[in-house]
Amino acid sequence: MQGKRIDREKLEGALKGFLKEPGQLIFGFGRKGGLVTHRMYRDDLHGFSMFNPYFSINGATLFRRVFSKDVKVLLMLRPCEIRSIVELIKLNQIEPEGITTLSIDCPGTVSLGAERDGLPDDPFEAKDYMVEHRDGMRWACTVCRERRGVVGDLGIRMAGDKSLWAFPYTEKGKAFLATIEVPEEEFKGGFLLGEDKKDAEPFATDMGTFSSELSRCILCKNCRDMCPICYCIDCLFNGDEYLPKGDALLNKIIRKGTDDLPEGRELFHMVRLYHVSQTCVGCGACEEACPQKIPLTKYFKGISERLQGMFSYMSGRDVKEIIPYLTFKEDELKDAED
């Protein structure tokens, strides 16, 4: 496999060169005090961080509905974020012409709300930290389907000898890799993060457990708003038909009888599960945003991966891989019961 052995200095040199061109931006990470956050760079790389060990939101949430062809953006994000970008491109929510996507190996993250300032933004140091403090890692990261920088236009991988390697996956990736001023060579080593080969049991639950855990839901809709794939501008749950309020609520109670409030919790989450079932990347942004700490990730990730598996599909793996519900094959699901 051909790639380039790089270091932070060489990478930053290529990034600075990218920013010198007019109308070009970089969307990545930057250190702010003791934390690392998402940052959009225009003129310089002040405070640039190669990796973000904190998870607050999925960066793709900030990048939805980007249709400009005049601005070029290099996105250097975690694999789950790049996978979300790929799905949004397929759903016509991002114009791909002006963007280049770079994924970097992700050893895992901790919740931004965990109040652990000063975590390292060097990927190797971050990996050592996550190994030593695995109990503090977000659950979504411990069961992540794809932590490797193998998605997008190019990726940065952590080699076993603690060197960084950049590999192109598309023509755009090759174009950016060419700006990193080191020679291309054959990679012959191993990687610190390997392919996830866990043969886990398919996710299963029952309505009793589902209803019990959702009983704490206050219908704030934070999970919807922070989901990178839930992109609809006119959501059906913004009106009174499904989540009634005021007179609409009173009229419904008069028709139906006594009911628990807020009304419609299970319906809201069931529709969301259906809506994102084939595009969910399991990033856990929904659970991160929930003030009631409902374990939403296991439901959204578990159900979506089970459904995606029926079609041999993986969300965000390849921009050319068609989302199953956007295509039709006459012989698919031939083993399914009527």
Contact 132, 138 (CB under 8 A): no
Quick check: 336 pLDDT over 80?
A: no
How many distinct structural domains can be found in the chain?
2
Residues 180 and 250 in one domain: no
Residues 247 and 126 in one domain: no
User: What pLDDT, on a 0 to 100 scale, did the predictor assign at position 61?
Assistant: 94
In a domain, 293, yes or no: yes
Place of tokens 């399991």: 282
Considering Cα of 125, then 131, then 132, then 133, what sign does the dihedral take?
Answer: positive
Residue 35 domain boundaries: 2-186
User: What pLDDT, on a 0 to 100 scale, did the predictor assign at position 91?
Assistant: 92
First to last CA, the chain: 46
d(CA 236, CA 241): 8
User: What pLDDT, on a 0 to 100 scale, did the predictor assign at position 200?
Assistant: 58
d(CA 106, CA 87): 19
Mean pLDDT computed over every residue of the chain? 90
User: What pLDDT, on a 0 to 100 scale, did the predictor assign at position 238?
Assistant: 85
d(CA 199, CA 181): 41
Contact 29, 38 (CB under 8 A): yes
User: What pLDDT, on a 0 to 100 scale, did the predictor assign at position 205?
Assistant: 81
Decide which of 152, 186, 220 is a domain's last residue: 186
In a domain, 332, yes or no: no
User: What pLDDT, on a 0 to 100 scale, did the predictor assign at position 100?
Assistant: 96
Side chain identity at residue 241, one-letter code = E
DSSP symbol at 326: G
Residues 174 and 76 in one domain: yes
Q: Is 41 helix (H, G, I), strand (E, B) or coil?
A: strand
Reported as a single tens digit per residue, the pLDDT across 263-281 is 788 889 999 999 899 999 9
In a domain, 100, yes or no: yes
In a domain, 233, yes or no: yes
Side chain identity at residue 131, one-letter code = V
Quick check: 133 pLDDT over 60?
A: yes
In a domain, 61, yes or no: yes
Residues 101 and 215 in one domain: no
**Range from 60-69, 179-188, 195-204, 257-266 that averages highest in pLDDT:** 179-188
pTM to 2 decimal places? 0.91
In a domain, 200, yes or no: no
Contact 90, 323 (CB under 8 A): yes
Side chain identity at residue 43, one-letter code = D
User: What pLDDT, on a 0 to 100 scale, did the predictor assign at position 195?
Assistant: 80
d(CA 225, CA 76): 23
Residues 38 and 102 in one domain: yes
In DSSP terms, 30 is beta-bridged to: 37, 48
User: What pLDDT, on a 0 to 100 scale, did the predictor assign at position 134?
Assistant: 85
What CA dihedral angle connects 65, 108, 320 and 313, to 10 degrees? -110
User: What pLDDT, on a 0 to 100 scale, did the predictor assign at position 156?
Assistant: 97
**Among 92-101, 105-114, 324-333, which is the least confidently predicted range?**
324-333
- In our burial notation (b when 16+ CB lie closer than 10 A, e otherwise), range 77-112 reads bbbbbbbbbbbbbbeebbebebbbbbbbbbbbbbbb
124 or 202: which carries more pLDDT confidence?
Answer: 124
**Among 57-61, 129-133, 147-151, 324-328, which is the least confidently predicted range?**
324-328
Reported as a single tens digit per residue, the pLDDT across 291-320 is 999 999 999 998 898 888 888 899 999 999
Give me the helix-helix angle, 265-276 and 207-214, nearest 10°: 110
Q: Show Cβ contacts of residue 80 under 8 Å, excluding neighbours closer than 6 positions.
A: 58, 106, 144, 146, 281, 282, 283, 316
Average pLDDT over residues 134-138: 89
Q: Is 313 helix (H, G, I), strand (E, B) or coil?
A: coil
